[in-house]
Amino acid sequence: MSPGTRTKIAVLGVLLLVLLLVPILLPSAFHLRVAALVWINATAALGLALLMGQAGQVSLGHAGFMGIGAYATALGPKHLGLDPLASMALGTLAAGLLALLVGRPILRLKGHYLAVATLGLGILVHLVIVSEVPITGGPDGIQVPRLEFLGWRLVGPELWYGITGTVLLLAAWLALNLEDSATGRALRALHDSEIAASVVGVDVARHKLVVFVIAAVYAAIAGGLFALFNRFVTPDVAGFLRSIELVTMVVIGGMGSIAGAIVGAALLTVLPQALTLFHEYEHAVLGFLIILFMVFLRQGIVPGLAGLLARRRLA
């Protein structure tokens, strides 16, 4: 068994175990709802982890793609009379196409320039959602119709827990496969040095574009799921702060680690729920924790703990 396969089985096994254990340990509707949110955010963070961790490209506007997925799911049934699920598929397609279209010029940029370009893209998407009030409902948000499947109305936290958990499991499986493929190796090569990668024959521009589109599709799917699950979306889903949350999930969990993205998403989703007790202090505490994590656990939770374990084993 190759090391790649072993990691894959370990990560997926642990994830499956957690997915099965949570409903047993925390069976209340509230906990299941929070958990479903975690799985949704983790799906978006996974895509971003591929882009940031594997390929080394940053996106400060990733919530824009999440917003496209969420609003397509909300607007399709309302304005075009489409099925919510079909609308979500169309939204995902739209997000992928947008990424394909703007990916090549954007990914030519490096470092801070790439940061500001992706940031601009996210802000433009958010601005369109806020401004086109007759279509999107503007800052007040919009209702999303209930999902029906073969005459069944899909409601209830248990069901949505299952749906979002399954999607995350699939997303993680695909991401791990990608990591362990020729494309994954090409991405890591161009992460280390684009020039060295192109010298050994890696088509740098194409590989960056591929992973950018994948990340956008992951985010759009997460956005669509969020819309269907929450049955209400506001422009916040595409906002700058959401983009930053996504990036923070990836970095706190550990860049380049698929498991890390999920841990980061769990932390950043559960924490604000716990902090609602100190509602006034929520932002201050969040900012403080972000600084604390970034300063003292810089390589992220999962690689940090793995390093600690490895050291203990050596000692």
3-state secondary structure of 55: coil
Nearer to another protein, 90 or 249 (CB): 249
C-alpha to C-alpha distances, 272 to 28, 38, 141, 228, nearest whole angstrom: 18, 12, 21, 21
Nearest to 85 by CA among 266, 190, 227: 227
Block residue for tokens 């841990």? 263
Helix (H) or strand (E) holding 149: strand 148-149
Distance of closest approach, residue 179 Cβ to another protein, in angstroms: 19
- Rg of the chain in Å (alpha carbons): 19
Query: DSSP assignment, residue 60?
Result: T
Nearer to another protein, 20 or 292 (CB): 292
Task: Please tell me the distance from the alpha carbon of residue 92 to that of residue 38, in angstroms, as a whole number.
Answer: 20
Nearer to another protein, 117 or 233 (CB): 117
| Site of interaction with another protein (CB under 8 A) | 52, 58, 60, 102, 105-106, 108-113, 115-117, 119-121, 123-124, 127-128, 131, 193, 195-196, 240-241, 244, 247-248, 251, 255, 280-291, 294-296, 298
Nearer to another protein, 93 or 115 (CB): 115
Nearer to another protein, 71 or 161 (CB): 71
Q: Are 210 and 89 in contact (CB under 8 A)?
A: no
Nearer to another protein, 279 or 312 (CB): 279
At a CB cut-off of 8 Å and minimum separation 6, what does 185 contact? none
End-to-end CA distance of the chain: 27
Number of helices (H) and strands (E) in the chain: give both, helices first: 14, 4
Block residue for tokens 């509602």? 279
Nearer to another protein, 140 or 152 (CB): 140
Distance of closest approach, residue 137 Cβ to another protein, in angstroms: 15
Distance of closest approach, residue 295 Cβ to another protein, in angstroms: 5
Distance of closest approach, residue 240 Cβ to another protein, in angstroms: 7
